[in-house]
Chains A and B, each alone.
Chain A
Amino acid sequence: MAQATELTSAGAGQRAARRWNQRTIAPWLFLAPGLFMFTVYVLWPIVESVTLSFYDWNGLYNRDGEFTGTFVGLRNYAELMTDPAFETSLWNNLKWLVLYMAALPIGLFIAIFLNQTVTGIRLYKSLFFFPFVISQVVVGLIFAWFYAPNFGLFYLLTEAIAGQGTAILADPDLVTYGIIVAGLWPQIAYVMILYLTGLNNVAPDQIEAARLDGAKGWRMLWYVVLPQLRPATFIAVIVTVIGALRSFDLVSIMTTGGPFGSSRVLSYYMFEMALGEFGFRMGYGAAIAVVLFAIMMIFISGFIWKMWRDEKER
């Protein structure tokens, strides 16, 4: 700084200006493609959805290509407040959020279990990772058959044990749990792989030192290993929360929201209202999407805030 004030010739001023220009413009130039994509594919749809949620529109343009919707203000949101189906979806989303968290301890447990060197461990690891690789649609189908009344393995098992078979997907009280279990299967595999890579980075000298100090078992895990796994845990929480909130494919494949809407979640209800066979209420669907977005925003801002803080601490 002091040097810069000493050099007051015109040439230096120009150079400084150019450097200033480079410093300010260059990042924007590099950001431009990303910003453009982000605006077109993220920001613009958000604005569009919010706008649409103030309209009552059946998705049709008339012959002249004019928009046929009518402005209804906040009426879609007012209707949401009294809509029992929306309430069910909200509760189900909450169940998903809470129960999906089970993927973390189970995933960690399996990761620790697999973090050893035995012959063929690679094979076991890939077998445990397998459910994450196959499509959610396939997972949904497998579990739908597993639960299927009359011939499903689960149904036959309960029949053999309790005398009467339980058809999870036909029972309005159990159906959501049934789908969450199906969702947990690949999610646990995902968390497991995150923790496995995390465990690779655990410093062996610290383990050694802790062992010398007499730590083992739970204390070793809790005070030595877990703190070192914090970055992995952070990512695992994020993907699990997001996975729970955007649960759509499994609901769609296994029950289509049924029986009588008891397994709906917000994302599926939004689809039903906006694009389902009996829906085409674009405005109402958009209102649900906005609410889901607001809920996600709570978590997303939390994560962003944490990342921001971590960056600053460095």
Chain B
Amino acid sequence: MVHKKTGALALVAALMLSTSAFAQDKRVVTWNADYDPIPLAAAEALIADFEAANPEIDIQLTNFDHEAYKNAIRNFLTADPPDLANWYAANRMRPFVEAGLFADISDVWAENGLNDALASSVPSSTIDGKQYAIPYTYYQWGIYYNRDAYAAAGVELPGEGGVTWEQFLANCEKFKAAEIDCVTTGSSALWPVAGIFDYLSLRTNGYQFHSDLAAGKISWTSPEARAVFAEFAKLQPYVTANHAAIDWQDAAAIFVQDKAAHYVMGNFAVGVFKEGGMTNDNLGFMVFPEITPGIARAEEAPTDTIHLTSGAKNPDDAKKFLAYIASAEAQSKWNAAVGQLPTNKNAAVDPADPFLTAGFQALSTATGGIAQFWDRDADAEYAKAGMEGFQQFLVQPDQLEAILERLEQTRLRLYPQ
């Protein structure tokens, strides 16, 4: 029995050795990731570059299915931690940081001057004054609009700086008359409505309010919160009916078919719009209109990050690779391939892509701050309660008091005053 087992072990070991025979003398860094095919290819290109510059290090990437990864990470961080793991910034990484599963990498930040180069992402990578993440990509949110729908409804196209909120709502009225949904969304997965709410909240009360609201510091029945819902109520009649039963991709179909004029979305949707037949000629991007005059403009840009695990077997080389991922050169390359924005301010953005340049422009001039997203800034449970409230308000605006009451109760339970 024992013999058999050792025999089997030896066989497995031999098999593993034979696959990594070339890497025998190299120091191995393991990296667990959750990439789709395009980002995966981009990551493999980065690894190839890094290994060419550091021939003694071998980066071994294990790729997971995106959805399965969310559960897998909870197991492998304790059971069999890789050196590096993909995850998300801000509150999303907090449980792992607090359980001591992600390692403090403030030294990587300090030694490579990242506090300056990645300045816009410092707050979202920091917990209790220490950095736990290397942000390497983000993407802007904003309003994508369909020029053909504008033409069909006879509405004047938004200018260079977008439109005012009054103008936007007035346009919505015209779209409604032309039987075109002014704003479309598909909220069956909840998060798309959080994008709309976040922007209304950022434009009505500013970044600090958004951040405090997500942290449970602000009452849902406060006049400021009510002001956000008051703006939400103005938009509500113009949002696609039955959005609660459809996915964001279904809503993208409505948008592509010229049945909707605007879509409040992240830049990742551009690929879907273009697959649906839209081109740079009829697809436009603008920042969400200003609501309260004079409030510093803040934008949403969810950040993806890579983390060093506490159980890393080769932390020194892993840190070296993290420093490389943080560099302008690596970020330019990866983001150009994937069509997202680099977090390193010295990195380059493809000038031929109007949406990336517009997004880069919008984010780099966002003096109010960069928000992650409702479900990343807020605690998981609080985020879900909030998103259900937003969705319910869009379906049943007359239930406002009940919604606010319920959210306030949730807040008081999760954040005892």
Which A residues fall within an 8 A CB radius of B? 58-63, 65, 68, 79, 84, 147-150, 167-170, 172, 255-256, 258-261, 275, 277-281
Contacts and interface: CB of A to CB of B under 8 A. Distances in A.
A255 B375 CA distance: 20
B391 A260 contact: yes
Chain A to chain B: the 3 pairs with minimum beta-carbon distance, closest first: A259-B244, A170-B245, A149-B242
B242 A59 contact: no
B395 interface: yes
Contact of A260 (B70, B245, B383, B392): B392
B122 interface: no
Interface residues on B, range: 35 or more
Contacts of B241: 149, 167, 170
B380 interface: yes
B71 interface: yes
A176 B243 CA distance: 17
B391 A59 contact: no
Nearest to A255: B188
Interface string B374-411: 01000011011000110110011000000000100000
Contact of B101 (A63, A169, A277, A278): A63
B232 to A, nearest CB: 15
Nearest to B67: A277
A2 to B, nearest CB: 55
A150 B254 contact: yes
Nearest to A68: B99
A89 to B, nearest CB: 13
Given A170-B243, A170-B245, A63 B188 contact: no
A36 B101 CA distance: 36
A147 B244 CA distance: 13
Given A60-B74, A68-B99, A255-B245, 14 more contacts: A59-B74, A60-B77, A60-B95, A60-B96, A60-B99, A61-B78, A149-B246, A167-B245, A170-B241, A170-B395, A258-B391, A275-B71, A280-B95, A281-B381
A60 B187 CA distance: 30
B185 interface: no
Given A260-B395, A278-B383, A147 B245 contact: yes
A148 B78 CA distance: 42
Interface of B: 70-71, 74, 77-78, 95-96, 99-101, 187-190, 241-246, 250, 254, 310-311, 375, 380-381, 383-384, 388-389, 391-392, 395-396, 406, 413
B99 A62 contact: yes
A200 B242 CA distance: 48
A61, A150, A169, A281 — which one has the most chain B CB atoms within 10 A of its CB?
A: A150
A60 B79 CA distance: 11
A278 B380 contact: yes
A256 B188 contact: yes
A166 B87 CA distance: 40
A221 B47 CA distance: 75
Contacts of B413: 79
Contacts of A256: 188-189
B380 A259 contact: no
A281 B375 CA distance: 16
Given A60-B101, A62-B101, A63-B310, A279 B380 contact: yes
A37 to B, nearest CB: 24
Nearest to B309: A63
B381 A279 contact: yes
A59 to B, nearest CB: 6
B245 A84 contact: no
A88 B157 CA distance: 45
A170 B100 contact: no
Contacts of B78: 60-63, 65
A259 B393 CA distance: 11
Nearest to A276: B384
A65 B310 CA distance: 12
7 contacts: A60-B74, A63-B101, A148-B245, A167-B241, A169-B244, A260-B395, A278-B384
A283 to B, nearest CB: 13
B99, B189, B250, B311 — which one has the most chain A CB atoms within 10 A of its CB?
A: B99
A60 B102 CA distance: 12
A256 B187 CA distance: 11
B375 A259 contact: no
Nearest to B77: A60
A260 B246 contact: no
A288 B169 CA distance: 44
Given A172-B396, A261-B388, A63 B100 contact: yes
Given A60-B95, A60-B101, A150-B254, A170 B242 contact: yes
B76 to A, nearest CB: 12
